[in-house]
Structure 1
Amino acid sequence: MSAASTAVNTANGGLRHRNVGIPEVTTTDEGRRADKLLDTHDTYEFGGPWGVTAMMIGFPTLMYYLWICLWFYDGQIVYPTSVDKIQPFLWEMWAHVRDDASPNLYAWKVYSGLIISQLVFAWIMPGYQQEGLPVPSLGYKTLMYNCNALFSVYTTIVLAAVLHYTEIFRLTEIIDNYGHLMTVAMIYGFGVSFGMYFWAVARGKQMRMSGNFIYDVWMGAELNPRIGPIDLKMWAEVRIPWVIVFFLAVSGSCKQYEAYGYVTPNMAFMVLATWFYLNACCKGEECIPQTWDMYYEKWGFMVIFWNFAGVPFTYVYSVVYMASHEPSKYRFTTPGYIAIYLTLITAYCIWDTAMSQKSRFKMQTQGNFNYRWTFPQLPYGTVKNPEYIQTAHGNRLLTSGWWRYSRKPNYVADWVQSFTWGLIVGTASPIPYFYSVFFITVLVHRCGRDFERCAKKYGKDWDRYCAVVKYKFIPGIY
C-alpha cells in the first residue's frame, strides 16, 4: 500500500479526497467519549416496554391474519361487517390457525433441518476471513468473521435439488405447508430470543441494558454472541431468512410447473428477485461486518424474530398468492414484463453497488480491504480515490459514489426492489404490497435512529456532512 497520498481540504466544508488504501486514524479521545455515551442506555425506543410488548404480540397476529386472507379469501382483506359478527369471525380465524397452521411434524423436521444444516455448514465450510470494525464495548477490539455463506447456500441448493428429483423431499410441499412452517418459525423466533437473553445474562455478557425485562428481550442483551467460529447474528441474517424466501419462490415455481406444465413470468420474476437478494448477501458477506446491524445492534427479539419468521413469511406474499391462484388473475402484457424486470435489475444494481461502496470504503480506511471475486461483481462497486469528511471522532464519512447523492441510497434502491415484489401480481391482491409498505416504515424509523446516533457521535462534523449530502433518501426530493 502506498503511503504517499496527500489529504487535501476542498472548498465544500472540509471534504477530503485521497487514496484511502492506508489505515485510518485511530479513534480520538473525543470519539471514545461519544462512543461511551452511545453504549449506555439513556432512552426508550419503539414506545418503550408497552410498545415492544404490543409489537411482540401484534406481529405474529398480523402474520396469521394476512396469510389467512391470502390463502383462504382470494387474497382480499376480510373483516366482520357488524358487531354481532366479530365473535364468529374470530373463531373462524382461529380455526384456520388451529387446522392449517399447526406446528406439525413435517414443519418441525423441515425447519429444524434447515437450522441444523446451516449451522453445520457455517462451522465446516471453507470461507473468507474478514476483520470487523473496532467494537467500542470490547475496548475497540476487532472480531474475525468466517464468510462461508456462498459455499453453504449453494451446497444447500444442490442438496435440495437432489432430494427433490429423487423424491425424498419434494420442494412443492414447502409452499403447501406454509402455515405450519410459519408457526414453527415463530416458535423458534420466540424461543431463541428469550433463550439468548438468559444465556447472555448468565454469562455476564449483557450491555446497554434498560433494566426492564421485556424491553431488554426486545432489544437484546448481547452484541456479538458466538458458537465456536459462528457469529450467530451474521449467520441468522443470511442463512435463515433469505434461504427460506428463495426456496419458497422455488417451491411456488415447482407447484406451478406441476399444475400447468410451465412457470409464469411472474413466478420466474420472484425466483430471480429472491436469488438476487440471497446471492448478494452470500457473495458480499465480507461487507456485512461493516454494517450497523453487526457493529451496534444487539441480537434481540427485534432482529431474531424477524430473521427467523418475519422476513421469510411476510416478504413473499406474492409467491403465496400465485401458487394458489390461476395465472389469468395476474397476467401482464409483454411491455409490462419488460418494464418490471428492468426496474428490478436497475434497483438491484444500485443497491448492490451502494452497499459495496460503503462497506469497502470502511475496509479501505481500516486497512484490511482485499478484493474478493464472487459472482457477480458489478462495476462501480468500489470507489477509487473517494471523497470523504474526516471527523474529530476519527471516522470518515463517505461522500463519493452513490453516497454523494443521498445519505441512504441503498435504502431507496432496496425499497424499489420490495415494491416490485408486490407489483408482480398487479392489482390482484393488496396483501403482497405489505412488504413494501412495512419496509418503508421500518426504513424511515431506522433512518431517524441512525441519524440521531450519528448526530451524537459526530457532533458538528455531522452537520458538515449533512451540508454536503443534503438529501436523506431521494436526491432533489427528500
Structure 2
Amino acid sequence: MVADEISEPLLNQSAQETAQETPAPAVETELNPKTTKVEFSGVPGALGITIGLPILIYVLYYALDAVPGTKVFDLCALEGYLAWFFGLVGLFYIVPGSVVEGTVLRDGTRLKYKMNGLTSFLIVLAVLVARVFITRGELPELAFVADHLLGLITSSIGFSFLLAFFVYFKSFGNSKTILAHGGNTGKPIFDWFIGRELNPRIGMFDIKFFCELRPGLFLWAIINFAEAHLQYRKFGYVSDSMILVTIFQFIYIIDSAVVEAKNLTMIDITTDGFGFMLAFGDLALVPFTYTLQARYLATNPVHLGWLGVAGIVALKVIGYYIFRSSNSEKDAFRNGDPSVAHLKYIKTKSGSKLLISGWWGVARHINYFGDWLMGLSWCLPTGFNTPITYFYFLYFVILLIHRESRDDIKCSNKYGDDWKEYKRLVRWKIVPFVY
C-alpha cells in the first residue's frame, strides 16, 4: 500500500503517453487561468468539510476509551507538537540527501526536492531505541504521547488552520507564483480550503511535499508505539493483535519513506494546491484516525491465537501481492519491458495504450482491490466489538471510489469513444465480479 501509487491519475497509461502529457511552456497561454469548475460543491462544501472533519476526529477520540484527566487545550501537548514538527524541519535542513527534480511546471521550470525523509525517520527511530536503553523501558516520551493525545489532536488541528492561512496569504506575494488549477476561483474561503498556490515554498523547503510524508505519517508510527507501550504498562504484555497492527502499519510507513521520490508523481503534488484540505489531512486526519486500531487495543487487548494471526497475515499477503504485482506489471508496461510484451492492449486515437489483459484486464483499478484487502487486515485484529476501529477501511473505500470516479471522468473526456470501448472490455472498476 504505497501512497504514490494509489494517487496516480491513470493507472494503465503507457510511457509514451506520460511523455505526451508532460506540461510544456507553450501549452498554457496563461500562467494562472481562472478556475471555472470547483469540487465539493464550492464554498458550502468547503465550509462543511472544514467544520465537520475536526469534529469527526474528536467524536472518534471520545468514541473509544479516552484517557481520564486529559485536556482538550493542553499547553504541554502544544509545546510537544511544535517541537515535533519543527524538529523534523530541522532534520530536513541538516540531514544529507539527494536532490531530485519534480515534473515540468506550466512555466517550463522544474523544482528541486531534497530527499532525506527515510534518513530522518531512521534517526527518529534510533533516538527512540536509544531511549529504551537509557530509560530502561520506561520511555516517558511515549507515555507523554499516549497521555496527552487529546491535546496533540487539538494542537495539530490548530496548526493545520494556521498553516493553511499562511500559505494562502503567501500565494499573493509574487505575480510569478504558479497557482493550482483548482484553487484560483477568486473566492477566498474555497481557495483557502482547496489550496491556492501549487507549490508553496520557503527557499528549497517545499511545504506541501514536506507535510505529505513526514510530520503526520511519522507521528502515526510514534502514536502506535505509544499505544503498544500503554498496553504494556497497563497489562504487562503486548498482545498478538497489537503486534500485527503495529507491524503492518509500520511496513506501510517505512515503505512510503523508502519511495519518497515517487511521491513527486502524486496528483497531490503535481496538480492540487496546498490549502486546509491537504494540511488537515496530512497533519491531523492521518495520525489521529489511522491509529484508532492501536488506540482501541491499548485498553482492550484482543488475543487472536495462532489461527487468527495466520488468517489475517494471509489476507495481508494476498492484498499486498495483488497490489504490488499489479503495479509492477503497470510499470513494466510503461517502460516497454519484454516480460509484458504478451499483454493485450487497445491503442487510442491519441496514441496511448490501454491494457486489457493481465491484472489490468481483470479490473480497471485492480491495485485498489489489493489496497482494500490490506486495509481490512489492519482492522480485523481489533475484533468486532466496535465499528470505530473499521473507520480506516470504510474511509479508504470511499476515498478510492471517489478517486476512481475522478479518473473515469478525466479519461472519458480525454479518450472519448476509445474509453467507452475500454470499459466494455474491462467491465469491473475495482472488485472483480462485484464492482
> Which bin holds the TM-score, normalised by the shorter protein?
0.7 to 0.9
CA offsets per residue over residues 89-114 of structure 1, 9 Å max, x none? xxxxxxx9xx6343323312322222
- Residue 115 of structure 1 deviates from its aligned partner by 1.2
- Structure 2 vs 1, CA of residues 307 and 419 (structure 1 numbering), >3 Å: closer, same or farther? same
1:125 corresponds to which residue? 95
1:179 corresponds to which residue? 150
Aligned residue among 124, 140, 143 for 1:156: 124
Contact 1:201 1:221 in 2 (8 A): no
- Structure 2 vs 1, CA of residues 457 and 404 (structure 1 numbering), >3 Å: closer, same or farther? same
Aligned residue among 292, 297, 308 for 1:336: 308
- Mapped to 1, the partners of 2:415 and 2:110 lie a distance apart of 21
CA offsets per residue over residues 305-349 of structure 1, 9 Å max, x none? 011001111111111111123x2xx32242122111221233234
Contact 2:333 2:340 in 1 (8 A): no
TM-score, scaled to structure 2: 0.83
Contact 1:38 1:453 in 2 (8 A): no
Aligned residue among 51, 73, 92 for 1:57: 51
Aligned residue among 405, 414, 429 for 1:472: 429
Contact 2:142 2:226 in 1 (8 A): yes
Of 155-164 and 23-32, more deviation after overlay is shown by 23-32
TM-score, scaled to structure 1: 0.77
Question: Aligned letter for 1:346?
Answer: I
Of 391-400 and 336-345, more deviation after overlay is shown by 391-400
- Residue 390 of structure 1 deviates from its aligned partner by 5.6
1:84 corresponds to which residue? none
Does residue 348 of the first structure (1) align with residue 348 of the second (2)? no
- Residue correspondences, number: 416
Aligned residue among 356, 360, 364 for 1:403: 360
- Mapped to 2, the partners of 1:303 and 1:113 lie a distance apart of 21
Equivalent position SS for 1:71: coil
- Mapped to 2, the partners of 1:238 and 1:352 lie a distance apart of 20
Aligned residue among 90, 111, 117 for 1:143: 111
- Residue 221 of structure 1 deviates from its aligned partner by 0.6
- Mapped to 1, the partners of 2:34 and 2:420 lie a distance apart of 23
Contact 1:172 1:255 in 2 (8 A): yes
- Mapped to 1, the partners of 2:426 and 2:33 lie a distance apart of 27
Aligned residue among 233, 250, 275 for 1:300: 275
Does residue 275 of the first structure (1) align with residue 250 of the second (2)? yes
- Structure 2 vs 1, CA of residues 28 and 233 (structure 1 numbering), >3 Å: closer, same or farther? closer
- Structure 2 vs 1, CA of residues 57 and 390 (structure 1 numbering), >3 Å: closer, same or farther? same
Contact 2:70 2:147 in 1 (8 A): no
1:105 corresponds to which residue? 75
Aligned residue among 172, 177, 191 for 2:162: 191
Contact 1:344 1:417 in 2 (8 A): yes
- Residue 391 of structure 1 deviates from its aligned partner by 5.2
Contact 2:180 2:271 in 1 (8 A): no
In the alignment, structure 1 segments of 5+ residues that lack a partner are 1-15, 74-95, 366-379
- Residue 401 of structure 1 deviates from its aligned partner by 5.8
- Residue 436 of structure 1 deviates from its aligned partner by 1.4
Equivalent position SS for 2:73: coil
Equivalent position SS for 2:382: coil
- Residue 389 of structure 1 deviates from its aligned partner by 5.7
CA offsets per residue over residues 7-66 of structure 1, 9 Å max, x none? xxxxxxxxx999x6x996545999987998997522221122111101111111121112
Equivalent position SS for 2:173: helix
- Mapped to 2, the partners of 1:28 and 1:157 lie a distance apart of 38
- Mapped to 2, the partners of 1:113 and 1:164 lie a distance apart of 20
Question: Aligned letter for 1:271?
Answer: T
1:11 corresponds to which residue? none
- Mapped to 2, the partners of 1:117 and 1:388 lie a distance apart of 49
1:79 corresponds to which residue? none
Contact 1:383 1:401 in 2 (8 A): no
Equivalent position SS for 2:113: strand
- Residue 432 of structure 1 deviates from its aligned partner by 0.7
- Mapped to 2, the partners of 1:31 and 1:471 lie a distance apart of 38
- Residue 134 of structure 1 deviates from its aligned partner by 3.1
Equivalent position SS for 2:312: helix
- Mapped to 1, the partners of 2:352 and 2:92 lie a distance apart of 31
- Mapped to 2, the partners of 1:151 and 1:292 lie a distance apart of 25
- Mapped to 1, the partners of 2:398 and 2:30 lie a distance apart of 29
Aligned residue among 273, 292, 295 for 1:317: 292
- Structure 2 vs 1, CA of residues 278 and 412 (structure 1 numbering), >3 Å: closer, same or farther? same
CA offsets per residue over residues 385-435 of structure 1, 9 Å max, x none? 576666555766566764343222232222222222222111122111111
Contact 1:242 1:277 in 2 (8 A): no
- Residue 186 of structure 1 deviates from its aligned partner by 0.5
Question: Aligned letter for 1:112?
Answer: L
In the alignment, structure 2 segments of 5+ residues that lack a partner are 1-11
Contact 2:329 2:340 in 1 (8 A): no
1:264 corresponds to which residue? 239
- Residue 152 of structure 1 deviates from its aligned partner by 1.3
Equivalent position SS for 1:132: strand
Question: Aligned letter for 1:423?
Answer: L
- Structure 2 vs 1, CA of residues 172 and 100 (structure 1 numbering), >3 Å: closer, same or farther? closer
Contact 2:241 2:381 in 1 (8 A): yes
CA offsets per residue over residues 80-133 of structure 1, 9 Å max, x none? xxxxxxxxxxxxxxxx9xx63433233123222221122222233333444433
- Structure 2 vs 1, CA of residues 262 and 198 (structure 1 numbering), >3 Å: closer, same or farther? same
- Mapped to 1, the partners of 2:415 and 2:91 lie a distance apart of 40
- Structure 2 vs 1, CA of residues 25 and 417 (structure 1 numbering), >3 Å: closer, same or farther? closer
- Mapped to 1, the partners of 2:430 and 2:17 lie a distance apart of 30
Does residue 115 of the first structure (1) align with residue 85 of the second (2)? yes
Question: Aligned letter for 2:276?
Answer: F
Report the identity percentage. Answer: 29
- Residue 354 of structure 1 deviates from its aligned partner by 4.3
Of 388-397 and 159-168, more deviation after overlay is shown by 388-397
- Residue 384 of structure 1 deviates from its aligned partner by 5.3
Equivalent position SS for 1:224: coil
